[in-house]
Amino acid sequence: MDKHIMKSANEAAERIIEWGEAHKIETCFERAEKLKPCPIGEKGACCKVCHMGPCRLVGKNAEEEARGVCGATLPTVAARNLVRMIAAGTAAHSDHARDMVLTLLAAATGEAKDFQITDVRKLYRVAGILGIEFEGRPVNDVAKDVALRFLEDYSRQKGEINYAKRAPKKTQERWRKWGIVPRNIDREIAEAMHRTSVGVDHDPDHLLLHGLKTAIADGWGGSMISTDITDILFGTPRPVKAEASFGIFKEDEVNLVVHGHEPSLAEMIVDVASEPEMIAYAKSKGAKGINLGGMCCTANEVLMRHGIPTAGGFTNQELGIMTGLVDALTVDVQCIMPAIAELSKKFHTKIITTSEKAKIPSAVHIEYDEHRAREIAREIVKLACDNYQNRKTEGSHITDKFPVVAGFSHEYIEYMQGGRWRASFRPLNDAIMAGRIRGVVGLAGCDNPRVPSTGIHKYLATELIKNDVLIVSTGCGSAACGTAGYLTPEMALEHAGPGLREVCEAIGIPPILHLGACVDNSRILTILSAMAEEGGLSDEIGGMPGVGIAPEWMSEKAIAIGCYFAASGVPVIFGGESPVGSSEEVTRIMTEVWYERFKGAMHFEPDPEKMLALALDYIDKAREALKLKK
Ligand code: MSK
């Protein structure tokens, strides 16, 4: 096999990697080859929570009885390591959410004059869930109360997070029985760090239960809050046409790319880039206009709401710069490779860090402040325009791009099944009950240079729809599908099984529904809860013919996501080596014990064919238990 095929399964990406190799430009793909994973840390067998170690529980001692200097066993160490990953992932999503809450508050009180409430209907829906009176009140007063109520999810010392009650009753009962309803997001993260510090919690099951509690604080806390506020401020997505892959960059326009995760500044850049004054400025620099593009999850945010094209997911960030066409790349937080700053020196691209939390040495720093959002966005757009003149001819200049249909919020999925007055999940439940749709898979998570990047996403997407499984995708899973040309209704005609094709044609949807960014995995929780409510399938999330798959995960955030799905009742399958693979006991807890208690589980399976078989097996067993048609 051509050695380049081993790096990316995306043809355009592969050509850029090849171009880079010919020009001696290093990327994550070469670094992944050079740097093999540490075999001890990879399986969770390394403890470094104190300075008597690090203790490597390997070699002759690689048994469950192996102990560190303090006496910590392998299951304790593996469980602690995983809980710390969950805490970090939850912190990332929920800190992002905190900023969204503060932006909503600033918009409501008039302090952030550049933002206002775009989706009043969604605001009222959220206010209703929170028990906040909204009839006849000024919109900004309601928004302020909503923001203040969400802030309680970061400070309440006793009780339950606001959105725990959005889960089906039976799911909530399971959580209460096992004591894993979060009190507040920050408290669960802090307690996770406390419990996993040296000499505190040593019972792997007890540790992992707190891991689940922390993860629920992510899914039903930070992530769901972020999704809702982003919709309130910038609009709830509806289907939108766009394009994906490197061909979205234009040779004769200023190419400005937004990368990272936070939507607020990106929204303002979208707005500012269409101002006549800005377009005139770009023209004064010799460009025909301003072309915006996205990368990773900031891309998903502006793709979902404005149809801004995406250059792809995580592993495309260096490759995008290597097209030679990116005049400026703004980054905020999460999934930003520090390598891009050094790489950009070989081209003309300006890397602009924008978050007070995240800087990269040698990048330009223009700090975002929601109180001056428009002014800052203008400064960034101008800087990109100024840099257009510095564009050289170097670069791989890839032109491939694919059409994409995105924008499937849970509200729209409900609406498309019955219109404004009869919106419901009944048709979806009926299609599953009748066997036209065999089940639903959430295809999510990162793309990873350790496997042929995006390849497992593509394989699973194709095989699952062939087997009549409807896919809901988020994050870089969506980007992998988009840059492969899979996010179109035609995909159903060409590849979907007969039952799924019939449903897609009847409703007019693609067989892979792009639901948004990583935080928007919360939309899947909402959909599953609505399906449970609708009746005919399971009356809780557990037991639904649904599975979550993150085949190429790399981020701690993915672990938090996987765990909140497992705690909610969804069997989850992750690719790659297991980060708890060193401990049979921890592996057993996360699969058998969690399944028994919550009807969810978390597996790690590097073989794509086995991933597919396991997913279909879970779906079929759930169908059998529900006595559904085969
Ligand atoms: S960006 S967490 S690489 S999905 Fe949300 Fe993509 Fe994974 Fe980051």
DSSP string spanning 418-457?
THHHH--SHHHHHHHHTTSS-EEEEE-S---TTSSBTHHH
- Do 383 and 527 belong to one domain? no
**Does the pLDDT at position 1 exceed 50?**
no
Q: Quick check: 160 and 182 in contact, CB under 8 A?
A: yes
Nearest residue to 55 (alpha-carbon basis) of 65, 40, 36: 40
- Do 433 and 558 belong to one domain? yes
Per-residue pLDDT tens over the stretch 457-476: 999 999 999 999 999 999 99
Q: Where does a domain end: 234, 263, 280?
A: 234
**Does the pLDDT at position 151 exceed 60?**
yes
The pair phi, psi for residue 8, each rounded to 5°, is: -140, 140
Give the residue-averaged pLDDT of 202-218. Answer: 98
Per-residue pLDDT tens over the stretch 478-488: 999 999 999 99
CA 524, CA 428: separation in Å to the nearest integer? 14
* For ligand 1, atom 3: residue with the closest CA: 446
Q: Quick check: 83 and 112 in contact, CB under 8 A?
A: no
- Do 214 and 85 belong to one domain? yes
630 within some domain: no
**Secondary structure of residue 176 in the 3-state scheme:** helix
Ligand 1 pocket mutation, candidates 298, 557, 561, criterion most atoms within 8 A of CB: 557
Q: Quick check: 497 and 463 in contact, CB under 8 A?
A: no
Q: What is the pLDDT of residue 491?
A: 85
400 within some domain: no
- The share of the chain scoring above pLDDT 90, in percent, equals 91
- Do 476 and 559 belong to one domain? yes
- Do 304 and 350 belong to one domain? yes
450 within some domain: yes
Per-residue pLDDT tens over the stretch 158-200: 999 999 999 999 999 999 999 999 999 999 999 999 999 999 9
Ligand 1 atom showing the smallest separation from residue 334 Cα = 8
What does the radius of gyration of the chain's CA atoms come to, in whole angstroms?
Answer: 24
Per-residue pLDDT tens over the stretch 54-101: 999 986 556 667 899 999 999 999 999 999 999 999 999 999 999 999
What residues form DSSP beta bridges with 33?
Answer: none
240 within some domain: no
Q: What is the pLDDT of residue 59?
A: 62
Q: Is 476 in the pocket of ligand 1 (CB under 6 A)?
A: yes
CA 279, CA 288: separation in Å to the nearest integer? 8
- Do 52 and 78 belong to one domain? no
Q: How far is the CA of 69 from the centre of ligand 1 (A)?
A: 36
- On the question of a cis peptide bond just before residue 449, with omega within 30 degrees of 0, the verdict is no
- Do 540 and 602 belong to one domain? yes
Find the domain containing 584 and state its range: 405-625
As a whole number, the mean pLDDT across the chain is 95
What's the CATH code of the domain at 331?
3.40.50.2030
Give the residue-averaged pLDDT of 113-124. Answer: 97
Q: Could you give the angle at which helices 276-284 and 263-273 cross, rounded to 10 degrees?
A: 70
> What is the value of ipTM here, to two decimals?
0.95
Q: How far is residue 108 from each of residues 130, 178, 364, 481, measured CA to CA in Å?
A: 17, 38, 31, 37
Q: Where does a domain end: 355, 388, 421?
A: 388
Per-residue pLDDT tens over the stretch 16-55: 999 999 999 999 999 999 999 999 999 999 999 999 989 9
Per-residue pLDDT tens over the stretch 382-434: 999 999 999 987 777 778 899 999 999 999 998 888 766 677 888 899 999 99
- Do 38 and 118 belong to one domain? no
Ligand 1 pocket mutation, candidates 218, 259, 314, 520, criterion most atoms within 8 A of CB: 314
Ligand 1 atom showing the smallest separation from residue 477 Cα = 4
